[in-house]
Chains A and B, each alone.
Chain A
Amino acid sequence: MRITQGTFSFLPDLSDEEITKQIQYALDNAWPLSVEFTDDPHPRNTYWEMWGLPMFDLKDAAGVLAEVNACREAKPNYYIKVNAYNANYGKQTVGLSFIVQRPAEEPGFRLERQEAHDRTIRYTLHAYAADAPHGSRYNGHQ
């Protein structure tokens, strides 16, 4: 099941050229960018791991793309996303965030029902990938 999180996630995966253009759009708006990765696909997992520090004062997309590629190489079977922070509102808000890599196979989620008091049923999502311990999901070798 294809994860759809962030901008462009309903489109086919972006090519490097398209990613470069999106990064350049963010840089032209003076949004600093950062690269993050995770192997926990849960939609409420907002805290992905940081690949290096956010990149400030960049002018050209090549620097960010180099970091994306470095992250891809180190984390071949992880989700990787690029975030652009928009500080125009006086606080750090995400201006743009999109996935630039996903695992080859995404097993998806199962629906879990929890029986609570008085015949109440609570529903929750459980990622099949999350059954394996962190670091060995998605046939990752990390």
Chain B
Amino acid sequence: MTRNRPPSEPDAPARVGFGMGRPSGAAGPGGGTGMGTASEPSAEADEREILPMDARVDLAKEREATGIDEVFDSLDADLVGLTPVKTRIREIAALLLVDRARSRFGLSTSRPNLHMSFTGSPGTGKTTVALRMADMLHRLGYLRRGHLVSVTRDDLVGQYVGHTAPKTKEVLKRAMGGLLFIDEAYYLYRAENERDYGQESIEILLQTMENHREDLVVILAGYKDRMDTFFVSNPGMSSRIAHHIDFPDYTQEELEAIGDLMVGAEGYAFTPETRKTFQEYLANRRAQPRFANARSVRNAIERARLRHANRLMEATEAVSKEELTTLAPEDFRGSRVFTDDDTNGTPNT
């Protein structure tokens, strides 16, 4: 981010600072979040003319104008941990900003390959990050609409011959201008059945990822090991994806922070004892099978709310606001995680 512009440049300040320029034909008034549209007309005019050789572009201002920092701030505030993911997202954003600055000097900017794969355990925030990614790419002007179309195998693969292609194409058409998020993408390829229609769907996907690179971004998501197998059996897919982002599991502290965020968002609070119990709960639950990170935390809190409500209903006297908003240790103590050594009964999704 170079802010130090030499003072001996009379016309540079007049030109720089309008960062809202988008690739041609982008973002009509109807689409997307409509951030910072006020500066758009001037940006459009300034996109067409190429800056002189000695001009300077203030990247910090460009960055400000896209409103990308808001996305980053909300990423940091809402998503606990995930440092490697956030780092990679910042890198991508930096590249896109620099590319835009380059294009203003008339330097060649082939559109970067933005297809991604998100791998990680259940509940590590893949879908949430994908949503943010759509917003971010829209603000940077790489997606015209910035909507997210989330699909699974069922939406792409047909049930009989000739059913798959139209189905996949329809989904792709819906995702144009936005982001296509394929959850549990490894289901698309079934090695054990060579007549499976998933392969046909993959071929159409590959073709579209190549030919409509400027129209949509595809994100494949799934569990790490199974996605690795998927990429091994589909090398074409792997090579067309530029960003393989791995979502690490949350640590105990991160899970606690997530729990705090969730409880706060629901308008509840922990007492110090409740917090201790909650920490204990997390430690126990993590050791058990089928632990789904943030999703398990959400479920634990949901069930604590149920027990909390039940407890209040059974109490005979009137309740105060504080009682309505405070979760007590016994709300978590009631969980099977504490009572049951046999973990089969724990709902986990």
CB of A96 within 8 Å of the partner chain: no
Other-chain contact of B215, A17, A53, A60 (Cβ < 8 Å): A60
CB-based contact A59/B145 at 8 Å: yes
Closest to B178 in A: A59
CA distance in complex: A24, B178 (Å): 14
| Cα distance A53–B31 in the bound complex, in angstroms | 24
Is A58 a contact partner of B166 (Cβ separation < 8 A)?
A: no
Instruction: Return chain B residues, CB-CB under 8 Å to A60.
Output: 31, 144-145, 176-178, 215
- Are A59 and B28 touching (Cβ within 8 A)? no
Q: How far, in angstroms, from A48 to B9 measured CA to CA in the complex?
A: 62
- Counting CB contacts under 8 A, is A6 at the interface? no
In the complex the two chains form, is B28's CB within 8 Å of A62's CB? no
Which residues on the A side are within 8 Å of B147 (C-beta)? 59
CB-CB under 8 A for A59 and B31, given A20-B25, A66-B212: yes
Contact in complex: A57, B177 (CB < 8 Å): no
Chain B residues near A59 (CB-CB < 8 A): 31, 145, 147, 174, 176-178
Query: Which of A24, A28, A52 has a CB less than 8 Å from the CB of B166?
Result: A52
List the A side residues contacting B216 at CB < 8 Å.
62
Main SS of chain B's interface residues?
A: loop
Please give me the residue from chain B that is nearest to A27 by CB atom.
Answer: B30
Tell whether, in the assembled complex, residue A24 and residue B174 are in contact, meaning their CB atoms are under 8 Å apart.
no
Give the contacting residue for A63; candidates B28, B30, B173; CB below 8 A. Answer: B173
Determine the residue in chain B with the shortest Cβ distance to A25.
Answer: B28
B172 within 8 A of A: yes
CB-based contact A17/B25 at 8 Å:
yes
- Cβ contacts under 8 Å, B178 to chain A: 59-60
> Chain A 36-77 against B: per-residue CB contact (8 Å), 1 yes, 0 no?
000000000000000011010111111110110000000000
Q: What are the interface flags for B154-183 relative to A under an 8 Å C-beta threshold, 1 for contact and 0 otherwise?
A: 000000000000100010111011100000
Query: Across the interface, do A62 and B215 meet the contact criterion of CB distance under 8 Å?
Result: yes
Cβ of B212 and Cβ of A57 under 8 Å apart? no
Q: Min CB distance, A25 to chain B, in Å?
A: 8
B122 smallest CB distance to A (angstroms) = 28
Chain B residues positioned under 8 Å from A20 (CB to CB): 25
Q: If the complex has contacts A28-B30, A66-B212, are A58 and B176 also in contact, measured as CB distance less than 8 A?
A: yes
Q: Could you say which residues of chain B place their CB within 8 Å of the CB of A28?
A: 28, 30-31
Measured CB to CB, the closest approach of chain B to A46, in angstroms, equals: 25
B170 — which chain A residues lie within 8 A by C-beta? 53, 55
Q: Which chain B residue has the least Cβ–Cβ distance from A60? A: B177
Is the pair B174, A58 in contact by a Cβ cutoff of 8 Å?
Answer: yes
Question: Closest Cβ of chain B: how far from A115's Cβ, in Å?
Answer: 51
Q: Is the CB of B212 within 8 A of A62?
A: yes
Query: How long is the Cα–Cα vector from A62 to B25 in the complex, in angstroms?
Result: 11
Beyond A28-B28, A61-B176, 19 additional contacts (C-beta under 8 Å) are: A52-B166, A55-B170, A58-B174, A59-B31, A59-B147, A59-B178, A60-B144, A60-B215, A62-B144, A62-B176, A62-B177, A62-B216, A63-B172, A63-B173, A63-B174, A63-B215, A64-B173, A66-B176, A66-B212
Q: Which residues of A contact B (CB under 8 A)?
A: 17, 20, 24, 28, 52-53, 55, 57-64, 66-67
Name 16 interchain pairs, CB-CB below 8 A, sorted by A.
A52-B166, A53-B166, A58-B173, A59-B147, A59-B177, A60-B144, A60-B178, A60-B215, A61-B177, A62-B176, A62-B212, A63-B215, A64-B173, A66-B176, A66-B212, A67-B173
